[in-house]
Amino acid sequence: MGSRDLAAGKAAVADLLGGFEDGAECSVIAVQLDVTDDASVKAAAKEISEYLGKGRGLDILVNNAGVLLQKSDNEEEKYDAAKGRKTVEVNFEGTVRVTEAMMPLLLLQRGGGSGVEECGQLEEAAHVVNVSSGVGTRTLARIRPEQRAALVDASLELPALREFCAAALAELEKDESSPYHAIPTVSYGISKLAVNCYTQMMARRYGAACRKDGDEAENAASNAALASAAASTTAKPRGTARVVRFNAASPGFTNTRMCDGYTGERQPKSPSLGASVFRDVLFSDLGKGKNGKFFKQADKAGTQLRDASSREEPWVAL
């Protein structure tokens, strides 16, 4: 469990373990991790690698760090450029930074995935779930059509995605008449839009080896890129390169610290209900074998956890 404040992380671990019955086998450790700090992320990856032991990989990575610094964009709260940049840095760039640091461990995942030479069971591959939001899918629907077309194009790469974010933030800062200002919680929306696009980009890159349809040349190119990525990691996977699944999931409007100061009529759901989407994506038929998909926790506040339901939704909420 990553935490910027290691003491707070250890307290959260103790609280979590205290909820298990005596004799239950569960091991959770806290790791100092600031997703905005390169040195912190690299140190966390090294600590996790040493904890797992030589030759052992990471099965699951959930990128959960996120902030909502500006809850509205209206006359009472003018757009704050510094908050906008910070939001994108934490929510989007933090996801990229942690994922890149953990890729060597994900590619080492034992017994899962397949080599690029022989396609196996995709559901056995290492699995990355990026915590996102429906705000991202709605924001993607509200930007200019030509921008949306470029962002959903299969050729999208990270530099172009970063360029879009930088240009959008600059326009928000310099042009008060920009249509971006009409998008609710716009900087948060841009950050989650970027997380969603990054998730799809990584799913294409690392999950393509198990694709059974499509153009053979495209598949071959994807497999070559996968092999090259695996060869460049500091922790070498045994044998041929392995696939990694990437999906995104939204807990919905959940009662976390993001709700601090919220005075609206909408009732947030409990954290356990919101988090049920990750359980479903990681361990149930909903997410089994899925790659490059967006999932959402579908229930209203007050729903009992035993009745919780999640569903797959489109990347663009048109």
Q: Provide the token pair at 46.
A: 């090294």
Taking the CA of residue 189 as centre, how many other CA atoms within 13 Å lie in the half-sphere pointing to its CB? 22
Q: What is the pLDDT of residues 21-44, one digit of tens each?
A: 665 667 889 999 999 999 999 999
For the chain, give the number of residues. Answer: 318
Task: Give the separation between CA 150 and CA 64, rounded to whole angstroms.
Answer: 26
Q: Provide the token pair at 309.
A: 């339901």
243: pLDDT confidence band, cut at 50, 70 and 90?
Answer: confident
pLDDT computed for residue 72 by the predictor: 65
Q: Determine contact, residues 164/147, Cβ cutoff 8 Å.
A: yes
Q: What is the pLDDT of residues 139-165, one digit of tens each?
A: 999 999 999 999 999 999 999 999 999
123: pLDDT confidence band, cut at 50, 70 and 90?
Answer: low
The answer for residues whose C-beta is within 8 angstroms of residue 153's C-beta and 6 or more apart is: none
- What is the percentage of the chain residues whose pLDDT exceeds 70? 81
pLDDT computed for residue 134 by the predictor: 96
Q: Provide the token pair at 141.
A: 């629907």
Domains in the chain and their CATH numbers? 59-313 (3.40.50.720)
> Could you give the angle at the alpha carbon of 213 between the alpha carbons of 200 and 106, nearest 5°?
45
Q: What is the pLDDT of residues 173-230, one digit of tens each?
A: 999 999 999 999 999 999 999 999 999 999 999 986 555 444 444 444 444 444 444 4
Please check the confidence at residue 287 and state whether its pLDDT lies above 80.
yes
Task: Give the separation between CA 69 and CA 260, rounded to whole angstroms.
Answer: 11
Q: Determine contact, residues 250/133, Cβ cutoff 8 Å.
A: yes
Tell me phi and psi for residue 108, to 5 degrees: -90, -5
Closest residue by Cα to residue 192 from 116, 134, 126, 114: 134
Please check the confidence at residue 241 and state whether its pLDDT lies above 80.
no
Tell me phi and psi for residue 305, to 5 degrees: -60, -35
First to last CA, the chain: 35
